[in-house]
Chain A
Amino acid sequence: MNITVKFFSSLMEYLPRSVEGNAMAVQVDPGTSPRQILARYRVPDEEVRTVMRNGVFLPEEDRDQPLEEGDVLTVWPSIQGG
Chain B
Amino acid sequence: MSWTKKILRVNLTNGEVAEEPLNMDWAAQYIGQRGLGTRYLVEETDPTCDALGADNKLIFATGPLTGTAVSTGGRYSVICKSPLTGAVACSNSGGFFGAELKSAGWDMIIFEGKAGSPVRLHIENEKAEIIPADDLWGKTVWETDKLIHAAVQDPQVRVAAVGRSAEAGCLYSAIINDLHRAAGRSGVGTVMASKNLKAVSVRGTRGVGNIKDPVRFMKSVAEQKQVLAENAVTGQGLPALGTQVLMNVINEVGALPTHNMRDVQFEGANNISGEAMLEARESDGKPNLTTNAACFGCTIACGRISTIDKGHFTVENKPEYWGNSGGLEYEAAWALGAATGVDDLDTLTYANFVCNEDGMDPISFGATVGAAMDLFDLGAITTEDTGGMDLSFGSSEALAWCVEKVAAGEGFGKEIGMGSKKLCEKYGHPGLSMSVKGQEFPAYDPRGIQGMGLTYATSNRGACHLRSYTVASEILGIPEKTDPLETEGKAGLVKAFQDATAAVDSMGLCVFTTFAWSLDNMAPQMDAACDGEWTVERLVEAGERVWNLERDYNMKAGLTGADDNLPARLLKEAAKTGPAEGKVCGLDEMLPEYYSLRGWTPDGQVTRETRQKFSLPA
- A20 to chain B minimum Cβ distance, whole angstroms, is 11
Across-interface contacts of B292 in A (CB, < 8 A): none
Kindly list chain B residues whose C-beta atoms are within 8 Å of the C-beta of A57: 253, 475, 477, 481, 484
Asked if A65 lies at the interface with its beta carbon under 8 angstroms from chain B, I say no
Q: Are A22 and B477 in contact (CB under 8 A)?
A: no
Mask of A2-13 contacts with B, CB within 8 angstroms, 1/0: 000010111010
Are A80 and B476 closer than 8 Å at their CB atoms? yes
Contacts of B511 in A (CB 8 A): 82
Chain B residues with Cβ below 8 Å from A32 are none
- Inter-chain CA distance A21–B275, complex, in Å, is 9
- List 29 contacting pairs A-B, 8 Å CB cutoff, sorted by A: A6-B248, A8-B245, A8-B248, A9-B240, A9-B274, A9-B275, A10-B240, A12-B275, A22-B248, A49-B232, A55-B254, A56-B253, A56-B579, A57-B475, A72-B252, A74-B252, A77-B237, A78-B236, A79-B233, A79-B237, A79-B246, A79-B249, A80-B234, A80-B238, A81-B330, A81-B475, A81-B476, A81-B515, A82-B243
The answer for the CA separation of A10 and B427 in the assembled complex, in Å, is: 46
Give the distance in Å from the alpha carbon of A27 to the alpha carbon of B418 in the complex: 52
Bound CA–CA A10/B274 (angstroms)? 11
Q: Is A52 an interface residue (CB 8 A)?
A: yes
Contacting residues, chain B, for A12 (C-beta < 8 A) = 275
Give the residues in chain B near A21, CB-CB below 8 Å.
270
Q: How far is the CA of A56 from the CA of B338 in the complex (A)?
A: 21
A44 interfacial contact with B, CB 8 Å: no
Within 8 A of B (CB), among A9-35: 9-10, 12, 21-22
- Chain A neighbourhood of B481, CB < 8 A: 57, 59
In this complex, the member of B249, B275, B512, B579 whose beta carbon has the largest number of chain A beta carbons within 10 angstroms is B249
A81 to B270, CA, bound (A): 16
Indicate whether B302 reaches chain A with its CB closer than 8 angstroms: yes
Contact B471 A81, beta carbon cutoff 8 Å: yes
Encoded as 1 (CB less than 8 Å from any A CB) or 0, chain B from 550 to 578 comes to 00000000000000000000000000001
Which B465-512 residues have a C-beta within 8 angstroms of A?
465-466, 469, 471-472, 475-477, 481, 484, 511-512
B275-A22 in contact (CB<8A): yes
Residue on A with the closest CB to B483? A57
Inside 8 A of B466's CB, which chain A residues have their CB?
82
B329 lies within 8 A of chain A by Cβ: yes
Which of A55, A72, A76 is in CB contact (< 8 Å) with B245?
A76
Taken together as a complex, chains A and B put the C-alpha atoms of A9 and B597 apart, in Å, by 39
| Main SS class of interface, A | loop
How far does the alpha carbon of A9 sit from the alpha carbon of B238 in the complex, in Å?
A: 11
Q: Does A36 contact B (CB under 8 A)?
A: no
B121 within 8 A of A: no
- Once the chains bind, are B329 and A82 in contact (CB under 8 Å)? yes
The CA of A54 and the CA of B471, in the complex, are separated in Å by 18
B331 close to A (CB within 8 Å): yes
B interface, over-half SS? helix
Query: How far, in angstroms, from A72 to B243 measured CA to CA in the complex?
Result: 23
Contact among B246, B254, B484 for A80, CB-based, below 8 A: B246
Query: A4 CA to B302 CA in the complex, in Å?
Result: 31
How far, in whole Å, are A55 and B237 apart by their CA atoms in the complex?
20
Contacts of B232 in A (CB 8 A): 49, 77-78
Residues of A within 8 A of B476 (CB): 50, 79-81
Cβ of B241: which chain A residues have Cβ within 8 Å of it? 9
Could you list which residues of chain B lie within 8 angstroms of chain A, going by C-beta atoms? Answer: 232-234, 236-238, 240-241, 243, 245-246, 248-249, 252-254, 270, 274-275, 302, 329-331, 465-466, 469, 471-472, 475-477, 481, 484, 511-512, 515, 578-579
Closest-CB distance, A50 to chain B (whole angstroms) = 7
* Chain B residues with CB below 8 A from A74, complex form: 248, 252
Residues of A within 8 A of B579 (CB): 54-56
Q: How far, in angstroms, from A58 to B602 measured CA to CA in the complex?
A: 37
- B246: chain A residues within 8 A (beta carbon): 79-82
A28 to B472 Cα, complex, angstroms? 33
| Apart from A74-B252, A82-B465, A82-B466, 4 more pairs, CB < 8 Å | A57-B253, A77-B237, A81-B475, A82-B243
Roughly how many angstroms separate A8 CA and B234 CA in the complex, as a whole number?
Answer: 18
A12–B273 CA distance with the chains assembled, in angstroms: 13
Closest to B232 in A: A78
A77 to B232, CA, bound (A): 9
The winner among A8, A9, A56, A79 for most chain B CB atoms within 10 A is A79
Please name all residues of chain A whose beta carbon is closer than 8 Å to the beta carbon of B471 when the two chains form the complex: 81
Alpha-carbon distance A8/B245, docked complex (angstroms):
8
Chain B nearest CB: distance from A48 CB in Å? 11
Contact code string A45-73 (vs B, CB < 8 Å = 1, else 0): 00001101011110100000000000010
Looking across the interface, which residue of chain A has its beta carbon closest to that of B254?
A55
B248 touches A50 (CB 8 A): no
The list of the 6 closest CB pairs from A to B, nearest first, reads: A78-B232, A82-B243, A78-B237, A55-B579, A80-B233, A80-B237
- Contacts of B237 on A, CB cut-off 8 Å? 9, 77-80
Contact A9 B245, beta carbon cutoff 8 Å: yes
* CB atoms of A82 and B245 under 8 A apart: no
Partner of A55, one of B253, B469, B512: B253
Q: How far is the CB of B144 from chain A (nearest CB, A)?
A: 27
In the bound assembly, the distance between CA atoms of A10 and B240 in angstroms comes to 9
Interchain nearest-CB distance for B463 vs A (Å): 16
**Contact among A22, A54, A76, A82 with B331 in the assembled complex (CB-CB below 8 Å):** A82
Partner of A52, one of B240, B253, B472: B253
A55 to B511, CA, bound (A): 26
